[in-house]
Amino acid sequence: MFISLPIKLATPKQMKRLLIVISLFFVAFQAMAQHQEARSNPKDYIGKHFRVDTIAESSRKYGYHYFVLDYTKSALDNGYYFVEQKDGTSSDYETLVNKIFVCIDAAKVPDGADYYLKLKNDQLGTTYYLYSSILFEVYCIEDEENLKREVQRTDSIALSYKNNPCLLIEDEKDNISRTRDIKTPSFIDEQPGFGYKDPVFFGISYDKRIEKGITSYYADLTTSTTVPSLTEKGVIILLKNGQRILKPSAEVRYNTNRNSSGYSVSSYIQLLPADLALLKASPAVEFKLYTDYGKVENPDIVYKLFLCWLSKK
């Protein structure tokens, strides 16, 4: 004997409420990767500066859920609740990301378990940030020195590398081994230092090692393959002007741990004066590691990096 049970469909308002709850949970879960423990007294934050963190690229369409225009209202209330809201469930990501606010007031939300920070930005005006025991989506800048660094990074670094890639050259000294390595980066982030942005891997980077007064030059090449192999030999670098750098005896290494693009294959080769002269005359654009082909991403930026690297003393 079967009993027929009535099925009641959710109303549009109930569905909206459910979607908001789900999205809030999802974003909170994503934010667990980076957060700060909140201070016990919210008044301690008054006068402090806050930078709005980036969030995972896959979650940016959901925006920020803890920035509101009026903490006395609910996301379910009619009206303009979130900052530059697009779908009525969050504050717009592009509007807030990397903005720096100063806290002008802080207190416990009346009749609530949360606290609020009243934040002010010269461009966006005043907004409220809600939190409980952990700060998500924002980073508290603790002192003036860090504030200057954050402002400089927010205002200039994200764009400056395109005009002056030399800023990205790394200079490392090892006092124990008494060596010095001058390197170009193997990848670049469209927003350096802010995390979560998918990086662009160049495919080639350069390393200048100075040891006991002797300088050696190297190129590190990396690509991916669908079929891993044992250690092989043979490297070819193609330049934009059609010239080639041939290294038939260079060792090619395969990483047997699979990643999202397949298996990593790389080679670390020494560059002779003749190789440096060729690379100085024309950018590297492609390469071949044994039987696997690789492409140099952003070859013009890599070329500028190479020239800075080569001339750096």
Q: What is the mean pLDDT of residues 188-201?
A: 52
Residue-range definition of the domain harbouring residue 264? 164-311
Confidence of residue 6 (pLDDT cuts 50, 70, 90): very low
Regarding whether 261 and 228 lie in a shared domain, the answer is yes
Mean pLDDT over all residues of the chain? 78
Q: What is the mean pLDDT of residues 100-123?
A: 87
Coil, strand or helix: which one is 42?
A: helix
Regarding whether 130 and 173 lie in a shared domain, the answer is no
Show the tokens assigned to 137: 């989506």
Instruction: List the end-to-end C-alpha distance of the chain, in Å, as a whole number.
Output: 88
pLDDT at 185 over 60: yes
Q: Is residue 154 in a domain?
A: no
| pLDDT of res. 161 | 59
Regarding whether 138 and 271 lie in a shared domain, the answer is no
Q: Is residue 112 in a domain?
A: yes
Regarding whether 189 and 127 lie in a shared domain, the answer is no
pLDDT at 158 over 50: no
pLDDT tens per residue, range 287-307 = 999 989 999 988 988 999 999
Number of independent structural domains in the chain: 2
| pLDDT of res. 311 | 92
Winning range, highest mean pLDDT, from 59-73, 83-97, 150-164, 204-218? 204-218
Half-sphere exposure of 45 (CA within 13 A, CB side): 31
pLDDT at 143 over 70: no
Regarding whether 298 and 197 lie in a shared domain, the answer is yes
Regarding whether 169 and 301 lie in a shared domain, the answer is yes
Q: Is residue 5 in a domain?
A: no
Q: Is residue 239 in a domain?
A: yes
Cβ atoms of 204 and 221 closer than 8 Å: yes
Residue identified by tokens 């790394």 is 170
| pLDDT of res. 88 | 64
Q: Is residue 153 in a domain?
A: no
Cβ atoms of 139 and 98 closer than 8 Å: no
Regarding whether 208 and 122 lie in a shared domain, the answer is no
This prediction has a pTM of: 0.50
Regarding whether 259 and 125 lie in a shared domain, the answer is no
Q: Is residue 2 in a domain?
A: no
- Classify residue 231 as exposed, middle or buried by CB count within 10 Å of its CB (0-12, 13-18, 19+): exposed
Confidence of residue 150 (pLDDT cuts 50, 70, 90): low
Regarding whether 234 and 113 lie in a shared domain, the answer is no
Q: Is residue 4 in a domain?
A: no
Regarding whether 130 and 47 lie in a shared domain, the answer is yes
Q: With pLDDT > 90 as the criterion, what percentage of the chain qualifies?
A: 30
| pLDDT of res. 227 | 78
